Structure 1
Amino acid sequence: MVSSLIILGSLSFVVLSFLINRIYKPIGYTSIPGPALRLSTRLLMFIQLHFLQTLPEFTEFWCKLYGDTIGVWVNGGYTIVSCDADFVQKILAGTHASNFIARTGNDDGLKAIGMYQKGIIWNNDVPKWTLQRRIFQSGLGSNVREKAFEVATEKTRQEINRIKATARDNNTVPTIDLLNILRHSTLAVTLDVALGIQLDQERSQHLIDSIVEYFKAWEFFLMKPRFIWSLFPLRLYHHKKSISRLQELIRNLVSTLNKQSAPFISQLHENGLTIDEINQCVLEMVLAGTDTSSVSLYYTFILLTENEEIQNQLLDDSRDDSFLESVLRESMRIMPVGPVIIRKALADCDISGTRIQAGTNIVINVARMNRHPKWFEDPLKFNPQRFQQNENLIALSATMGGKGPKSC
């Protein structure tokens, strides 16, 4: 009896798989290139994405095979992947940009990292996101740039003096962890400007280490279905601890803040947010202000050390902010800290003649687009002057930060 049921079940599965493979075609997307999304192809993509490759690697693989805008299967749904600048501009900043303010994500994963319907990074509750986004914008006033410059200058001076003291005390040439130094600087700026506080070196380092581990947990939980987590018990345990550690640090930090310590904090309290929402907003401010900024600066320094002529020109033109901005744009073009941008359609709409249905995932391969010869001449060359010679590229480079209503 049992063996008969097994045989019957197996035959049913084979027949069902055959039928799905034969008849499945995403409705409304016949014009978009890509592999035939049969059950076997979707299974391959599932294994590829969750066990073999990161999302940027996954999108790069399929774009190489099928083109600049293609259809694949991600997170149980049809997904448009694009590195076509024209298509991307319309998604992020076109007339339908407000239709793409949500992000594809695993709700269980978002709950695990504390971002489910809280904060602004991955909050898909549109009214809540709109309110908290406004708080982020209004809480960082017009004097932010000047204050950030002062704090960054002072923190850099402190780090240089600390390195000199270490070299003098040990009578050796010190090994410098440039990325960590930059993280200390960007953290100091974020804490002072957004929260109105300063931390000592030891507490700052503890917070930085926790941020780095949180990002690893983020990558683990965000796209993986819940049932996969248990296949990696040690990583699951470690990542849960990392999330709890950073959340506890932020809770302790928020509990010591005066409600009037900085405009950002005042805005959080004055707009009726719960304490959990306030904690998450502060956590995301610290995350975004510390890690992405420091990594972008780190890549800039690396590229400058490999291009002495540009380095010298930057020093000679130290008062010319326009060239400095071009250097930063070019660095972020070649080495984008976020190689992909993820969105989700809230409603049906038409983009470049393609009917995009509500719920469709959109993944923008920023790294591939930035290195595409169609958009950037000699794309692998570090050439900041390209932005001064062609102002149209400035608008294109804005895509690196997300652009439009959900821009960074």
Structure 2
Amino acid sequence: MFIETTVNQSVASLALGIATCVIVGLLRVKSPEINDDILELVLTKTAPDAASEQLKDCLTCERKLNGVDLIITKDPKVADYIFNGRYQRNYTRRPATIEGLKKLGMHNQGLIWNNNTDGWKSVRSVFQLSLNDVNMEKAVGVIKSEAIGIIESSTNEAGSIDMMSVCRRLTFRATLSTFFGIESSDFVKTGIQENDYIDAIINYFKAWEYFLLRPETHWDASLERKHSMAVKELQRHVKEMLDSIALNSPATPKHGLFVDQLRETHKHQNPESLVQSALEMMIAGTDTSSVTSYYALLGIAPNRELQTLLRQDVLSCGASKSKLLRSVIDETLRFKPVGPVVLREAVKDDPNFPGANVTKGTAILIHLADMNVCESF
């Protein structure tokens, strides 16, 4: 099973870590046909749905998108070749429309879709250093202390609980506390409106979906305006949060705090780059993690025996060493991957690619969601 998402592996690791904290805290046949273009499908459907349509009767097919060769696949052999094969370094770039990335603030900035290798490496090191056992334990502690209050405030008169809202609020608070040094008790002082931030994060993902592959010539004026405003709204929230942290932080930064390390890394870069990197930590820690947490809880909810075994295993050996907990998270990511598709671009010609002629610039779309439920896999 492959559980890489559309986000960078470091961000995916963060999301997995925070999602784990929530659980603990709360308890090739190739088609010969080559179409000229699938642009119309992508314009009328999401990329995962459009890709599924192309893979109805085959494991892999070749198409064109915006004039670029595109391989669409749900073949696990192809996925293994790209993620784990000897030529995996040929697939480190992520294809997208440049104007779309600029709209999202991701063009040569941040971590998730940054194709500037040097800039990406420097940001990645900060993210990786933050994904340590100390921070994960802190996140668990935040979630344990916040869980009861959030659950009570998310329960309606009929006694029903909006668990997706609970997961989002928990992961949001854990992310802010662990990586930005902001506790929920500081929200008023720092001007953070929790629901506004969470809504902005959700809307940013919708904008991401809209702008990523769609060429500028096919932007709808009203939708472009709507999604551009959503991006700017989250950027504004993150900038205000960073300004508040700088204003209220001690003269000596907290040792190892993600936001301080991020400032040091970006001190010779433009302010927008700092905002984008902080924004990506926030969206990965909050939304990506909460979706995985929600479906993990949904999966174990009917099984009381599994809940008991999971609780016992975590209490006896700890979350980081619990094989059962890892299995639950992995199974969740199998049937509900946060990023249903992964996009890669060939850095150079690859004559060894299984079953297809891959030249420099060829885009590969791996449909994880379809692959993980494929009977042959």
TM-score (norm 1): 0.75
Please tell me whether the aligned partners of residues 49 and 55 of structure 1 are also in contact (alpha carbons under 8 angstroms). Answer: yes
Separation in structure 1 between the aligned mates of residue 357 and residue 87 of structure 2, nearest angstrom: 12
Separation in structure 1 between the aligned mates of residue 293 and residue 272 of structure 2, nearest angstrom: 31
The one-letter code of the counterpart of 2:229 is K
1:34 aligns with 2:31: yes
Correspondence list, 1:138-157, <5 A: 138-157=129-148
1:47 aligns with 2:21: no
SS in 1 for 2:365: strand
Structure 1: which 5+ runs fail to align? 1-30, 376-408
**1:203 counterpart residue number:** 193
Deviation at 1:198, TM superposition (A): 2.2
Deviation at 1:344, TM superposition (A): 0.7
The one-letter code of the counterpart of 2:195 is Q
Correspondence list, 1:2-401, <5 A: 33-34=30-31, 36-37=33-34, 41-43=35-37, 45-51=38-44, 53-65=45-57, 67-162=58-153, 172-199=157-184, 200=187, 203-229=193-219, 232-258=220-246, 260-261=253-254, 262-271=256-265, 272-315=268-311, 317-319=313-315, 321-349=322-350, 350-352=352-354, 354-375=356-377
* Paired-residue identity, %: 31
The alpha-carbon distance between structure 1 residues 296 and 139, as it changes in their structure 2 partners (threshold 3 A), is closer
Please tell me whether the aligned partners of residues 30 and 355 of structure 2 are also in contact (alpha carbons under 8 angstroms). Answer: no
**2:12 counterpart residue number:** none
Deviation at 1:311, TM superposition (A): 3.7
Separation in structure 2 between the aligned mates of residue 123 and residue 50 of structure 1, nearest angstrom: 24
SS in 2 for 1:197: coil
Separation in structure 1 between the aligned mates of residue 199 and residue 359 of structure 2, nearest angstrom: 41
Question: How many equivalent pairs are there?
Answer: 331
Please tell me whether the aligned partners of residues 29 and 59 of structure 2 are also in contact (alpha carbons under 8 angstroms). Answer: no
TM-score (norm 2): 0.81
Please tell me whether the aligned partners of residues 139 and 267 of structure 1 are also in contact (alpha carbons under 8 angstroms). Answer: no
Structure 2: which 5+ runs fail to align? 1-27
Deviation at 1:181, TM superposition (A): 0.9
Separation in structure 1 between the aligned mates of residue 278 and residue 87 of structure 2, nearest angstrom: 30
SS in 2 for 1:78: strand
The alpha-carbon distance between structure 1 residues 270 and 176, as it changes in their structure 2 partners (threshold 3 A), is same
**1:400 counterpart residue number:** none
Separation in structure 1 between the aligned mates of residue 85 and residue 94 of structure 2, nearest angstrom: 17
The alpha-carbon distance between structure 1 residues 302 and 123, as it changes in their structure 2 partners (threshold 3 A), is same
Deviation at 1:292, TM superposition (A): 0.8
Deviation at 1:144, TM superposition (A): 1.6
Highest RCO, 1 vs 2 (Cα 8 Å, sep ≥ 6): 2
Separation in structure 2 between the aligned mates of residue 96 and residue 263 of structure 1, nearest angstrom: 36
Larger Rg: 1
SS in 1 for 2:63: strand
The alpha-carbon distance between structure 1 residues 339 and 211, as it changes in their structure 2 partners (threshold 3 A), is same
The alpha-carbon distance between structure 1 residues 330 and 117, as it changes in their structure 2 partners (threshold 3 A), is same
**1:399 counterpart residue number:** none
Separation in structure 1 between the aligned mates of residue 63 and residue 307 of structure 2, nearest angstrom: 42
**1:391 counterpart residue number:** none
Please tell me whether the aligned partners of residues 82 and 363 of structure 1 are also in contact (alpha carbons under 8 angstroms). Answer: yes
Please tell me whether the aligned partners of residues 171 and 289 of structure 2 are also in contact (alpha carbons under 8 angstroms). Answer: yes
Aligned residues: CA RMSD: 2.3
Q: Which string of whole-angstrom CA distances, capped at 9 and with x for unpartnered residues, describes residues 321-377 of structure 1?
A: 2212111111111111111011111122333475521111011110111111222xx
